[in-house]
Amino acid sequence: MASNNAKYREAARLARRGVPIALELYRRWQSIPPETRERYLKMARDYANRAGDAYQQRRRGGPR
C-alpha cells in the first residue's frame, strides 16, 4: 500500500507541474496564425516520415 501512495503522490506532483505548462503551450499554439500552424504540422509530418523510413532501413540492414 505504501508504494501505491508514493505512486499517487508522484502522479499528483507531475500533474501539478505539467498541467500549467500544457495549458501555456496550448494557449501559444492557438495564438499562432493558421498558415504557420500548418507549416509546423507539415514539418512535423515530414520529420516523422523520415524517421520511420530511417528506422525501416536500419531494420532491413541498410546503410547507416
Interatomic CA distance for residues 52 and 58, integer angstroms: 10
Q: How far is CA 43 from CA 8, 36, 46, 58, 64, in A?
A: 37, 11, 5, 23, 23
pLDDT at 64 over 70: no
pLDDT tens-digit profile of 19-32? 999 999 999 999 99
pLDDT tens-digit profile of 1-49? 557 899 999 999 999 999 999 999 999 999 999 999 999 999 999 999 9
Retrieve residue 29's grid coordinates: 499554439
Domain ranges of the chain: 2-59
